[in-house]
Amino acid sequence: MDLENSLGIPYLEDLWRRLTRRSPNSQSNWLLDSIVLAGLGLPLEEARQYLARTQPAFGEFEQWILERNDGLIEPLRLERLNATIAQTPYSAGLQSALRTIETSGPVLSTNDLSFWEENGYVVLHEAISAPACRAAERAVWDFLRMNPDDPATWYQPSTHGIMRQFFHHPTLRANRKSLRIHKAFAQIWGTADLWMTVDRVSFNPPERPGWKFPGPNLHWDVTLASPIPFGVSGMIYLTDTEGTQGAFTCVPGFHRRIDVWLKSLPAGADPRREDLESLGAVPIAGRAGDLIIWHKALPHGSRPNRSTRPRIVQYLSMHPAKRDHNPGWK
């Protein structure tokens, strides 16, 4: 059956067929899937659920994609996607856009990068402007239908804990386009040829009688099977966040000793069920607009909010089209 492909991404048809079970036995390429969805401004979780539950026609799927991009996807973005999928050289226009990032001044200093190597995380201050930060925070409050001045509204039930399925808003998209954020990830990866993930936000209110912190506690988002693939994650504080305010928490430097630690565990032990807090977990305070980037080998998470104000963050990350992958899960 021939399909009209208005976006001009041939691979998108294959992804649609697989995730709607029209071609359940076709070979999946998780890396290309993630690149295509990121390039089209889609969260992986949301896209999979939409396709599996709704079973849309292909044209409906394309329209759904456009709606999540305010009706427009820049031609250069589509061109880059197709070149990446086909593994063909970028055009002069694409090369020029990436060269702008490559040749721009560093946003992470030499000391920042040394800190990163030692601790496995780094903080970029003022990753986004104060107005951009306030606008994104306001968008979160509006999406959640909560009043920042009325704590009684902060505890509406959520099926995702402190994670909130808020992905698509002009302020969130603007933050993902921050050149300072792109440059920070480029310095860590050693290339500007990166793809921005589309991730959700988090709202962690203060604990109170009847509402206790639901997690996530310290965990990993990567396989612990050797070799552990290199990867990074990131988040922007949208509010000033003290260490006691449910701040991002990690075990600094654990990426350098995780292999030795894993080998030291008793046979059959599940590393994910160990007492990770005892490994030296530290909350990382920050100011509104700060970006935290962390190495995926670090145990990380949030913690109970013991303050009087919620912690609000936007998650995001960047990664190259080709990167390490270990299919085994441990």
Asked, for residue 324, whether it belongs to a domain, the answer is no
* 81 and 138 inside one domain: no
* 70 and 186 inside one domain: no
pTM of the full predicted structure?
0.94
Give percent above pLDDT 70 in the chain: 97
Which structural domain range is residue 219 located in?
Answer: 102-319
* 76 and 107 inside one domain: no
Asked, for residue 97, whether it belongs to a domain, the answer is no
The CATH number linked to 121 is 2.60.120.620
Q: How far apart are CA 180 and CA 186, in angstroms?
A: 10
* 75 and 110 inside one domain: no
C-alpha dihedral (104, 105, 107, 108), degrees to nearest 10 = 120
* For residues 118-131, average pLDDT: 98
Using pLDDT thresholds of 50, 70 and 90, give the confidence band for residue 189.
very high
* 125 and 252 inside one domain: yes
Show which of 55, 89, 123 is a domain's final residue.
Answer: 89
Asked, for residue 60, whether it belongs to a domain, the answer is yes
Is the pLDDT at 4 greater than 60? The verdict is: no
Average pLDDT, the chain: 94
Is the pLDDT at 3 greater than 80? The verdict is: no
* 305 and 174 inside one domain: yes
* For residues 213-219, average pLDDT: 96
* 138 and 33 inside one domain: no
Is the pLDDT at 211 greater than 80? The verdict is: yes
Asked, for residue 289, whether it belongs to a domain, the answer is yes
* For residues 271-290, average pLDDT: 97
* For residues 47-62, average pLDDT: 94
What is the model's pLDDT at position 25?
A: 67
Is the pLDDT at 75 greater than 80? The verdict is: yes
Is the pLDDT at 103 greater than 60? The verdict is: yes
Show which of 59, 89, 119 is a domain's final residue.
Answer: 89
Show which of 32, 65, 89 is a domain's final residue.
Answer: 89
Is the pLDDT at 327 greater than 80? The verdict is: no
* 270 and 187 inside one domain: yes
Poorest-confidence range of 66-75, 129-138, 300-309? 66-75
What is the model's pLDDT at position 49?
A: 93
Asked, for residue 273, whether it belongs to a domain, the answer is yes
Is the pLDDT at 275 greater than 60? The verdict is: yes
Instruction: Tell me how many domains the chain contains.
Output: 2
Find, among 236, 222, 200, the residue nearest to 43 by Cα. 200
* 265 and 144 inside one domain: yes
Phi, psi of 203 (to 5 degrees): -130, 110
Asked, for residue 1, whether it belongs to a domain, the answer is no
What is the model's pLDDT at position 1?
A: 38
What is the model's pLDDT at position 312?
A: 98
